[in-house]
Structure 1
Amino acid sequence: MVPPLALDIDGTLTTPSGRVDPRVFELLPDWEAPVVFATGKAFPYPVALAHFLGRPETVVAENGGVAYVDGETLVLGDPDAPRAVVEAFKARGGEVGWGVGDTVNRWRETEVALSLDADEALLREVAAAAGDVEVVDTGYAYHVKSTDVSKGTALERVAAALGVAPAEFVAIGDSENDASTFAVAGESYAVANADATAREAADGVLDGAYMDGTARVLAELRERGE
């Protein structure tokens, strides 16, 4: 049998240009074990991906701030502190950086994401002063979130709801926000484009980048399960 999966999306299931790799639609719809999409994106994104794959909408979003499993939404993060930090950042001249529409944050419930063009030093200074908030650099945005939530803690909650031990999961990711997922999964891989934190936390670093690396792991897991 194949193992359950905890999969990051950006940088892991995508091409270098940020598109969802078409191999996702070949390899994942018929995966015969739970698949949890664990992402820093807002809640609707992983739900939509699962929906269009025809899979149960089992997700961890906003770096662990929100999870969804068996029809139940778990709001695990406190939005007030991160939003207060961003307001203080803006009061000191900082800019969120997404423009007028800001669809990046429109549906975000428990954290705030800022463009990589934002003043990182100022943002981290303001977050540090707050004490219960941290800044996570995913390589795609700066995420301001509560310190007590992570993808890993959310995966533990989702796994319990599924009746699966976290150690049964194989996790694949590319960023520092995946390190907590790697810590609770039984087996973990960082794709070749992963940052230093993810590489250090993973059990193995793949030769292939982006979906090239992920697809190879999935193929090996299928062979192992036969």
Structure 2
Amino acid sequence: MLKALLTDIDGTITNSSRRLDTEAVELIRSLADQGIIVVLASGNAPCFMEALCKMIGTQGSFIAENGGVFRVGYAGKLHVQGDQAEVLRALELLQDHYRKEGMELELFSPTYRFADLAFARTVPVEEVRSILRDQPVQVLDTGYAIHLQSKGINKGTALVALAPELGLVPADFFAIGDSLNDIEMLRTAGIGAAVANAHPAIKAGAQYTAEKEYGKGFVEAIKKYYPYFLAR
């Protein structure tokens, strides 16, 4: 029996151009209208996630910044996990390194983030990891941006913290994603699924992998497990 849906955004309910799949959006709205809790999860900043919740038509709960921030409902408190101060120190070290090489990192919405920091994938992620190997941060490559985050923080840890505020446990959730930053939430949820365009490591850890890619794969997976939601 499933009581809630936890879904990644980019690459999961979008198409290859990062545009929302309209069929996926309609299906999410249908689930929400039936009282099934829908939680959106992403590496994006909280302000982006709030706007997306309203546009899609969910109840307002989200996980942002790859698990560094979460909120339950539109009126809920913004919970911040991790230490952005240590992330800022790591970023400064990284910026100093690349400035010496005549490069400037392109930051994504730094003033709107509370836990992690993200920048464009204009530098090799393994090089970033090497430069920051002695720093207390983790380096995440979502395929859309490189993120610096406190160690031990991910979408899975956010799910563990968020679920009780909804009166649920992680096993009540159906989670679906495509990128490496989705691994922990798929493992933590009751059922974890992947779309066909997912990273091989995601597919290996998922209980179901859709035959279709992107938003069409999301729709396929939800329709397969739809009876489990109805059984509630």
Q: In the alignment, which of 111, 129, 139 is matched to residue 143 of structure 2?
A: 139
SS of corresponding position for 1:145:
strand
Does structure 1 residue 16 correspond to structure 2 residue 16?
yes
Does the Cα contact within 8 Å between 1:6 and 1:170 map onto a contact in 2? yes
Does structure 1 residue 107 correspond to structure 2 residue 125?
no
Q: In the alignment, which of 221, 224, 228 is matched to residue 220 of structure 1?
A: 224
Please list every run of 5 or more consecutive structure 2 residues that lacks an aligned counterpart in the other structure. none
Does the Cα contact within 8 Å between 2:24 and 2:218 map onto a contact in 1? no
The TM-score normalised by the length of structure 2 is 0.89
Does structure 1 residue 193 correspond to structure 2 residue 197?
yes
Shift of 1:103: 4.5
Structure-2 separation of matches of 1:118 and 1:34: 38
Structure-2 separation of matches of 1:21 and 1:164: 28
Task: Tell me which amino acid in the other structure corresponds to 1:38.
Answer: A
SS of corresponding position for 1:211:
helix
Question: Which consecutive aligned stretches of 4+ in structure 1 deviate over 6 angstroms post-superposition?
Answer: none
- Tell me: CA distance 1:81–1:178, structure 2 relative to 1, closer, same or farther (3 Å): same
Offset from partner CA, 1:166-205 (integer Å, 9 cap, x none): 1011100001111110111010111111112212221222
What is the 5 A alignment of 1:1-226? 3-31=3-31, 32-70=35-73, 71-93=76-98, 95=103, 97-98=105-106, 102-130=107-135, 132-224=136-228, 225=230
Structure-1 separation of matches of 2:142 and 2:164: 26
The TM-score normalised by the length of structure 1 is 0.91
- What's the RMSD between the two structures over aligned residues? 1.8
Structure-2 separation of matches of 1:187 and 1:72: 27
Structure-2 separation of matches of 1:182 and 1:48: 24
Structure-2 separation of matches of 1:96 and 1:216: 42
Does the Cα contact within 8 Å between 2:108 and 2:120 map onto a contact in 1? no
- Tell me: CA distance 1:206–1:25, structure 2 relative to 1, closer, same or farther (3 Å): closer
SS of corresponding position for 1:60:
strand
Shift of 1:96: 5.7
Shift of 1:2: 5.7
Q: Which has the larger displacement, 140-149 or 18-27?
A: 18-27
Task: Tell me which amino acid in the other structure corresponds to 1:37.
Answer: L
Shift of 1:11: 0.4
Please list every run of 5 or more consecutive structure 1 residues that lacks an aligned counterpart in the other structure. none
Offset from partner CA, 1:82-116 (integer Å, 9 cap, x none): 11111101111265643xxx554341221111211
Does the Cα contact within 8 Å between 1:105 and 1:113 map onto a contact in 2? yes
SS of corresponding position for 2:223:
helix
Q: Identity rate of aligned residues, in percent?
A: 33
Task: Tell me which amino acid in the other structure corresponds to 2:30.
Answer: D
SS of corresponding position for 1:28:
helix
Q: Which has the larger displacement, 187-196 or 110-119?
A: 110-119
- Tell me: CA distance 1:12–1:164, structure 2 relative to 1, closer, same or farther (3 Å): same
**Count of equivalent residues:** 222
